[in-house]
Amino acid sequence: MENGKNRLQQAQEDVEEVKGIMLDNLNKADERAGKLDDLEDRADELLAKSKAFEKTANQVKQKKRWENKKMKVLVKTHYNSPQSSSEPPSILQYVSVESQAAVFDQ
């Protein structure tokens, strides 16, 4: 009978050990679930920010494209005007007199 009691006690100890391991595993699974939720939230936030960046980048691209087209039209109309010479316009034409003086005074 003593042998049966030891076996029962050993089985109960084994059950308690397995129970402890399972509780530890459940706690770790809960921690991972929380971390995964945080990671998913951060991924959603990053996606939203990337879409906003893409939209802004496209707006800037479109604006610069129009500015470039406007500049090309201005340059073409300048060269095609009757008073234009064959030389390209000097940058000094587009700079104020005060700025020119500041450059040459240095």
Q: What percent of the chain has pLDDT over 70?
A: 75
The span from the CA of 38 to the CA of 32, in Å, is 10
Query: What is the domain partition of the chain in residue ranges?
Result: 2-104
Mean pLDDT value of segment 49-55: 97
CA 5 to chain centre: 66
Residue closest to 91 by CA, chosen among 75, 80, 73, 72: 75
Mean pLDDT across the chain, nearest whole number? 83
Amino acid at 70: K
- The conformational region for residue 79 under phi > 0 = left, psi -120 to 50 = alpha, else beta, is alpha
Tokens for 37, please give them: 């939720």
